[in-house]
Amino acid sequence: MNSRLRMTVIGTLGCGGKPSGFTPSANFTGRPVECRVAPVSRVCPACSTSYSSEVSFCGHDGRITIQVQPPGEEDPRLGTQLGDFVVAARVADGAMGRVYEGRHPETRQQVAIKVLHPQVAQDPIAVERFRREFETAEEMEHPHIVRVLDFGETGNGSYFMTMEFLFGEELSQMMDREGKLNGARLVRVVSQVAQALDCAHSAGVIHRDLKPDNVFLCESDDGDVVKLLDFGSVKLQMEMGAKLTAFGTTIGTPYYMSPEQAMGKLDVDQRTDVFALAAITHQMATGAVPFKGDNVAKILMAIVQEEPPPSSQINMDLPPGFDAVIAKGLVKDKTLRYASAGQFADAIVTAFGLEGGHAQWAKTPLAETARALSVTAPHPVLVSSWPPVAKASATVAYGEGPGTGGADATVQDGGPFASNLGTAETVLADGPLVAEPIKTTSNKNLIGFVLLGVGAALLVIVAAILFFTLSR
């Protein structure tokens, strides 16, 4: 087995989750850890037979094997039972709590058990958020929302939550390692996140803290399988505003907060999550967050007052319509954003030139999506309802052809399309995109005003010459 073990952290523990050295199986590939960890053994609590870390049940009596603890790091919870599951091993530590592997003594089901640290359990807001996370996720059954099983008290003043055990890594860690995503992977992840958000929104639930840390990527033969985590911010911000917890963290992560959240407004809705999804999509496409700052205050100020750089300026391989989709998703006025996460994902799919909606590409194997992108020309995305600033505009006429419908797209001067105003893309019947000159009404008006000004200046000069000649 590779000595560079890859661990997984389930759900939100707080920053800096630290693996304990546990590996649930020989082919386990979970959250990457940049450290070398010695294999951890297990022991049967009944017959004391030792096993390697991959063996979860004793070969003699079938009992659940318990992780052997290093001297000085004994955890009294190991070997005890929380709810219906035996605590078998430590998985990871974080600022908010500890994650364990749990096993059912009869069904042998493997689960993750999150337990709040004792000091965190004394904070009523942290406990309420933990409870809300369970209650909200329990109400929703969706393949892309993490499944929770149980919630309760530990018996010594803390609280635990049992949930499905996930094998994979957080989106944030994948991007830290690999930078930006390729087109096929981006389309798949965005489509699956959008499906999870639309499910939550249909139940009246707004996530409010969507970020790469809360997008968990499970491994499968077909590609990433998204599991959306941590619904602890649900309703809490509506009731308590931007109240800080005892650990100095505010609800919502600055880089992905919407302008209405940054300004402390309480009227957040599904378009708040759409903004966060657009910010994450920009980062997946470029490897950089759309709004930056040296501190939280500067980041929030940028979100409220500044326009992000076009994604294509950072990654020039993006399709022509990508910038417009991100810009509409990140527009300051939420009434001008996409009305749903699904609409945003559909626009991303269209920008990459794929036919069909995001629901189709959410389940399409990654290899098939990559093949489709290799032979499909990207489409321009017409965004007529996006005016980020009130400046002079130019009407861009798109030619007739499949995928265009002869529609007009209003592009604001100085917006994210400003660097692309030299040509318009037209899809012809035989396939490829051809660049045609843009026909604008503003150019004709500008020429007319220039000629009128020149003529007026000439008349003034002639009149002045005649005046001096006659006065002599």
Give residue limits of the domains in the chain.
18-165, 175-386
Point out which residues pair with 153 in neighbouring strands: 159
pLDDT of residue 380: 54
CB 98 within 8 A of CB 20: no
Rounded to an integer, the average pLDDT of 300-315 is 96
Which pLDDT score is estimated for 46?
Answer: 94
89 has a pLDDT exceeding 50: yes
Its CATH class, for the domain covering 175-386, is mainly alpha
The one-letter amino acid at 336: L
| Topology of the domain covering 18-165 | Phosphorylase Kinase; domain 1 (3.30.200)
Confidence band (pLDDT; 50, 70, 90) for 129? Answer: confident
pLDDT > 80? residue 277: yes
DSSP state of 140: -
Mean pLDDT, rounded, for 110-115:
96
pLDDT band per the 50, 70, 90 thresholds, residue 6? very low
The CA–CA distances, whole Å, from 76 to 67, 80, 112, 404 equal 12, 8, 17, 66
Report pLDDT digits (tens) over 7-31: 444 444 443 344 443 333 333 333 3
**Helix or strand (DSSP H, E) at 149:** strand 148-153
Q: Which residues contact 54 (CB under 8 A, 6 or more apart)?
A: 1, 23, 24, 25, 26
Name the percent of the chain lying above pLDDT 90. Answer: 56
Question: Cα 419 to the chain's mean position, in Å?
Answer: 27
Q: Are 24 and 50 in contact (CB under 8 A)?
A: no
Which of 122-136, 266-280, 401-415 has maximum average pLDDT?
A: 266-280
Q: Is the pLDDT of residue 417 over 50?
A: no
- pLDDT at 466 exceeding the cut of 70: no
pLDDT value at 424 more than 60 = no
Q: Which of 93, 198, 209, 213 is catalytic?
A: 209
What is the model's pLDDT at position 470?
A: 52
Active site annotation includes 123 = no
Strand partners, 151: 161
Give the pLDDT score at 419: 32
227-231, 250-254, 358-362: range with highest mean pLDDT: 358-362
Confidence of residue 181 (pLDDT cuts 50, 70, 90): very high
Mean pLDDT, the chain, whole residue set: 76
Query: What residues contact 438, with CB distance under 8 A and at least 6 apart?
Result: 394, 396, 397, 421, 422, 423, 424
CA-closest candidate to residue 303, choices 290, 294, 314, 285: 290
